[in-house]
Structure 1
Amino acid sequence: MPLREIQESVQQIASAVASVLRVEVEIADSQFLRIAGTGKTEAGVLRTMAGEDHIYRESLLAGHPVVIMHPGQDERCRPCMHYGNCVETGEICCPIQLDNENIGVIGLLAFDEEQRERLFADVDAILTYLQKMAELIAIKLKEHYLYVEQLHTVEKLRVVMDEMDKAVFLVDQDNRIIQANQRARQYLRLDHDDSQTAEWIDAIRRADAAQSAPKQVVLSIGQEDKTFLFAIKPILLAGTVKEWVITLDDVQEVVQIARQVSGYSEPDPFRMIGGNSPAIVQAKEVARRVAASDSTVLLQGESGTGKELFAKAIHQTSPRRDEPFLSINCAAIPEHLMESELFGYEEGSFTGARKGGKPGLFEVAGKGTLFLDEIGDMPMPLQSKLLRVLQEKEWYRIGGNGKPIRLAARIIAATHLDLQERVDAGLFRLDLYYRLHVIPIHLPSLRERREDILPLANDILLAHANRVGKRLHGFSQETQNVLFHHGWRGNVRELENVIEYAVNMETTSWVQPSSLPIRTGMLRESSSHSVKENQGSFDWQKQGLTLKELERAAIDTTMQQIRDRNGRKEEAAALLGISRATLFRKLREYGLT
């Protein structure tokens, strides 16, 4: 019963027509249920017209108008129950058609002579008007169909959106959320408080302008900061943006679901750091113990000892493992760029500033970990600003003067330099040193853990041999001796490079010394030559000296030879088989230079 679905509108049309033509109006559907009526027919609305529907039936079946000048006498009225005593004085009816289907009839009725005169005064004009009213009713029904279809589509979309595993919401031109699915209401707690909506949308727009996919943003929801992956797309109408659709994925949930689906079991990150010597085991144990805390960690070790590897392992073992891990090399970026990289900047804060500004690494790291590599090379002006962040746990973007941004990330710093020596030389702030030196972890060089050299070398050899498709059984005895006694100033990184070179050069099943880089042989010869020089210039068996006196003499002799050939202290440390930091400490202890 389609017309019954718009009964109220049909009745309004019937009343309007009756008011204009000053005759009575009656409208029935295809089942001859009276949908609307005026005057004497109004009492029969929503009742069947059985026995009184013969003229309407003819019009409906024939699909054209019917004009009855003398109701009750016209032969077409004979089947009607009121034939011979009809109270009507005239009738004109017209079918209502929608998409070439007859869906009802609209009739004009006269019940007295005045109405009859008005009805038949100009039949052609009345028929034209009546057909227009029939078309209007059909249009109303069409609109109703479209509206119902839209409601159905909206409801289907709502159900689909609510079943999605990501938050989806629409935003208008005023940054108001006008529609949100269940997950969005849950993530953003919209049912409790939506006062932060503008702040969230602004943060999303800034992150969208500053990042490439996949994009992420940190939103403050209540008293909690949460990290989301997001996408924002415009909804265009005639080339003009009307609204935006935004989707959010909780980073922690995404990682957790991925692990569940894949059956992935997180390995111990520290097991990825090779070596079983007491020195490296102790370093890993300390790092593993502090991983769960928020304390600042300072990793100290020579180049190539795995400082970033340790930083990542600490992050991956910590409760922050599902948050971002970001790193910056303080020695690789110019001072004027490093400040904006760390702290970010507001739009218009300097010439060339990106529209909308840019979040810094402190901000993008969110509740994750920020790794400051080569912190010892940070310029003094930036050291002051970093100190304030570590002390106050907040900062401002460059050009920002509003609400400060709270620091939520954990800081891990690393350096190959002796920071105490840098402090003594006036190149590093003492107060910043103590802020960073909360949990210092010394990463031993390969010289301090020679028992790890050959096991590490074998693991690296296997990996590179598999990569290039070679069958190598291992290292010859002579090659093992070379690897074991080499100084390894570049530590594990140098070891990896040497072995990768050897894998590519070797033509037998066992790596021979001839396949090692020439530099390795040169350094080995230089190292042996220096040791012989040391042995020749100092009587190591001299009687009457204590162990400390022997140590002091060895260091003094080695330093003298390094000075004679304008060498570096790193070379002296390598010849003595100790770390650079240990050498500097011993030099201070014995008053040597």
Structure 2
Amino acid sequence: MVDGRKEYAAADYEKVKNIEPVHKWMTANPFSLLTSHTLKEAVHLLDLHHIDGLPVISFEQQVIGLITKSRLMKLFVEGKPPETRVGEVMNASVVTIGPDDTIEKAYKIPVGRLPVVDEQGRLIGMLTRTDILHSYFYISGQLQETIHTAETLNVILESAYEGIAVIDKDGIIHEFNNAYCRFIGRRREEVIGKHVTEVIDNTRLHIVSVTGVEERGYIQRIQGQDMVVHRIPIRKEGEVIGAIGMLIFEGVTELYNILGRMQELSRKVTESTLLTQDNLKDNRYFEKIIGNSDAILSVKKMAGKAAKTPSTVLITGESGTGKELFAEAIHHRSPYAEGPFVSVNCAAIPEHLLEAELFGYEEGAFTGARKGGKQGKFELAHKGTLFLDEIGDMTLPMQAKILRVLQDRTVERVGGIKSQQVDVRIVAATNVMLEEMVRKGTFREDLYYRLNIIRLNLPPLRERKEDIPLLLSHHLRFFSEDFSLPQKFLSVNAMAALKEYKWPGNVRELINTVEMLVSLAEGQEISEHDLPGHILGKSHFSSHKPAFEPFSAPKQNVLEEVKDKMLSSEKEAIIQALREVNGNKAAAARKLGIQRSTLYEKLKKHGLIGNVSV
């Protein structure tokens, strides 16, 4: 009976097309053995981590064998001593799979554990039969849900208390539920197929369908009432294909009532949430790392795992990718979170001062030494985390001293004769290729291997473009609030230009750019004409010269020149839009991404009413 059930299950799975990628279900950075390890060490690792097999790798991280619990038991029965080297008895016939191969392909390979390797054959993960079964359970659940999706969606839309509108990427309404119809006093068949700006007052839903940046909890005046709304982009295969708009409350008054009830509930549960608050504090630092792309989520997941151990972490990546932010997040989720987080930029401190800065000094160690001496960064970071930024800029003599601290866990102050024990978790970072420096002899190989235990490689911003709208939206909100300015937002063309830009300075450059735009742009909308010239030059989104050139030489009456250019550009854009739609003002307003009433105000301001030749 048992065998029969297995055959039936297998037959079921063979009918299911599972194109889930292996990398989604594998265990990344698995434990492994070297050929020089002993059978005793292999048993210890298997028992410690509750696993039944370990890949054997070379010094180049390439998979060359496999050792399992059953293999070990057979070897011990045969009388092999525990000191036997793994390389002598491992199973050298190993089947591997790639990270982009499908689970369906893995399922058809009749082995219990599959090492996952990259194009060079280096180990990057491990896939077990259990992982494969979990994937099939997930797919089966998805298929069953799909059967009822259309019916369920219709029930949800029509029974929802909130008003719900669904548009495509062009702003055309495809769904409009009864609650929304009742609120605006129109029938569903009257609004389906129309542009959302013709149906909903003061909407920005069509803008969200282009920018892909969600807007939650915004106040929107509809039918003469202030309403709380959500505007959420709809994505398919990574691309925005439309947006959903929701009226969350029947006006702002109900929101105040709900907030009052929440405050009352908060007072009742304060005592029982103290532990939860500690967890939130730990997570707060990871939440500062903004992004939903696979690239950044993968690194955050690995960083979360690394944080739970005391192992040294090496963070690599281009300048401005957020290495210190990751280091701080790792610290606050680690066993060292109760201790201090101490940061040192090795490139910013002159070579002759770096030793005293790191290890401290005794009184009289050198001319000008402080009375009583001074603690170094290693001592200050005791029971905490020491972040060594730009470690690739450290000289070879200093590298040797750092290596000794990592090996002995003791420091000796400059001018001192007594060593002091330190318990410090090291997180190092660099934006240079340490491997290349090792080959050239400018970075110690032994220090490299001491640091490169857990490696986090942060992706540059140009490789996670889907995160750019989220980062822009977050920092626009932050700087608007910080400078006590009305909330500013980007026009569709400005957002497109910023997404296209390569961002050589990564997130740091983006933050500085947003701060400049919030400070200098007139009005709440930031258009492409407000962007710096180097951004527009890269993106080819506008032939107009930008209003703000942060690196240009000072000019007389620069604000007047900027204002004139902006007004001239705005006028030209309105005329061009009207000509393209043969004078249809509603269509022109949609094309410009503004309300029809706003267009009339601008026509009046520029003296264009009745004076535009189409």
TM-score by length of 1: 0.43
TM-score by length of 2: 0.42
